[in-house]
A and B are shown apart, each in its own frame.
Chain A
Amino acid sequence: MRALTWHGKHDVRVDTVDDPEILNPRDAIIKITSTAICGSDLHLYDGYIPTMQAGDILGHEFMGEVVETGPKSTLQKGQRVVVPFTIACGSCYHCGKHQYSACDNGNPADNQDIGQEMYGQPMSGLFGYSHLTGGYAGGQAEYVRVPFSDVGPIVVPDGLDDEEVLFLSDILPTGWQAAENASIEPGDTVAVWGCGPVGLFAVQSAFLMGAHRVIAIDHFPHRLELAKKFGAETINFEESKTYEALMEMTGGIGPDAVIDAVGLEAHGFFVDNVVDQIKASLFLGTDRTHSIRQAIHACRKGGRVSMPAVYGGFVDKFPLGAFMEKGLTLKTGQTSVQHYMPALLNAILEGKIDTTFLISHRMGLEDAPKGYEMFHNNQNDVTKIVLKPGLAVAAQ
């Protein structure tokens, strides 16, 4: 089959590799019909995530048609399914608590060593996201092997397009969990850093959870425009001072809850950010963390911090003092996608959540390297790229 493979920083290629096979009883093989490039994929593209190996197949947001099933799979050939990016067994203690991204068994035993050493306990497996999270082949390919297919994938009801449900695989539940982690109370003002897919879904979710006001922060006018469409007020951090603006817009209180949907590649020319970039290039400190610092700084006393954004390693200059003195609460984590899929599918069916607005580009799988380059270089116009293996290569 053809698959998008990682070869190094800013080097991804479409290669011919072996077709996947059923290996375990609960496996299924899915023929991919749609797969998206994620902001998290850019972290791999930019070489920020350790334990990548040349030839790794990327892609963790995907859906398609069931073409083969193991004896313990509950799926049937021909069904259309969306696959959660977290690989969870459904039967361990953590899965029992619906903490699917903390599943004990999704990550192969040998790969758990890295997570155990780095983080104290290994996390679940993820599709197409380095060997730290299992080394599983991803779905930016023609086919993919899906473990635990009896508990993960959700069957798509007839009449729904791929594009309406594809984001159930990651960013819609991630935006939703981000808002849930902000423990929003009626009348709250919620500030969201980053108007990428995760931030934009967090904006929609925050309103659905009863936020009175949502203030969205970014520097791309087109992305801020989308946030406005959902009722958010905006701050363009290139035109205004974010902290000062937030304080004035909240009558000197600060936002009740803050959501960092930016992550370890924060843009912008800020003093601490520049120091971080120098350190990152020297491998001294790996994560650039301007947005989470600013969010903690701006958050009101006793407020809540939600951090869907991905961080991998260690940081310094974390505002621990502000965090303690103001009595903040922080919630974060990879999304427990399986927990949110059924309810969010309903929300889509009922028209409560809009998903298709996000897609700016559609391409064939063969064009994926171009897609990565575009997404990387022009985040203003490129909000989300969906790859369709069935789609012909665009004329060059």
Chain B
Amino acid sequence: MTMATDDAPPTTSKLSEERASGIAAVSQSRRDDLIGRSVTINRSRDELFAYWRDFSNLPSFMDNVERIDILSNTTSHWVVKAPGGRTVEWDAAITEEKPGELIAWTSAEDADVPNSGRIEFRDAGDRGTVVTATIAYDPPAGVVGKVIAKLFQREPAIQARRDLRRFKQLMETGEVATAAWTQKQRDEEKA
């Protein structure tokens, strides 16, 4: 068993054992893939937490998420765009919550794309808040699904990075940047 001896997060490790420990930290089962992304946002921890905690807000910056229905205080139903104009769906439940600090979730047993993870908020002094998303997921239909997803730019690692950037834009500037110059173009970009 080789574990890393440095201070880098497990999401950036080259060692499979170290990555596995990172997955175990956010998920019950041994998943195929682990994503970790951090972004620093020039806003307070509480403000960011509050916006994220209301899951109905998430589609405003997660371009891939078609809609989220709130089922109860801790459960929600996700409808997410997939390659080829299809959608995948799952129920998710919050498994841990520390106000202003962290939200952890896991998808229900029968999810199309089993996933779980956590979003953490840490103070960054006069730079605002570091927001870290750690997601473990089973890509649809194994390797082939992953390749297809990549082709369609719906690869979860890329998507997570873009979602966090849009979250930052929305929180810091009040809007999500677009280079479109007509509404029609913007709608096409999002489709």
**What residues make up the interface of A, taking CB atoms closer than 8 Å to B?**
18-21, 23-26, 72, 89-93, 96, 104-113, 116, 125, 134-137, 144-145, 147-148
Contacts and interface: CB of A to CB of B under 8 A. Distances in A.
A200 to B, nearest CB: 32
A145 B183 CA distance: 12
Interface residues of B, number: 29
B183 A21 contact: yes
Contacts of A111: 179
B177 A93 contact: no
B74 to A, nearest CB: 29
Contact of A108 (B127, B158, B179): B179
Contacts of B184: 18
A125 B40 contact: no
B176 A91 contact: no
Contact of B162 (A20, A104, A110): A110
Contacts of A20: 181-182
B73 interface: no
A23 B128 CA distance: 28
Contacts of B173: 26, 89-92, 105, 148
A89 B172 contact: yes
Interface in B128-162: 128, 153, 158, 161-162
Interface of B: 40, 42, 127-128, 153, 158, 161-163, 165-166, 168-169, 172-186, 189
A108 B178 contact: yes
Contacts of B128: 93
Contacts of A18: 181-182, 184-185
A113 B161 contact: yes
* 6 nearest A-B pairs in the assembled complex, by CB-CB distance: A109-B165, A20-B181, A24-B175, A135-B179, A109-B162, A89-B173
A23 B162 contact: no
A105 B168 contact: yes
Given A72-B174, A105-B173, A148-B173, A92 B42 contact: yes
A21 B182 contact: yes
A5 to B, nearest CB: 13
Contact of B178 (A23, A91, A96): A23
Given A21-B183, A109-B176, 4 more contacts: A91-B172, A108-B179, A109-B163, A144-B181
Nearest to A90: B173
A111 B173 CA distance: 18
Contacts of B153: 110
A107 B168 CA distance: 12
The winner among B42, B127, B178, B186 for most chain A CB atoms within 10 A is B178
Contacts of B161: 113, 116
B165 A112 contact: yes
Contacts of A125: 177, 179
Contacts of B42: 91-93, 96
A154 to B, nearest CB: 19
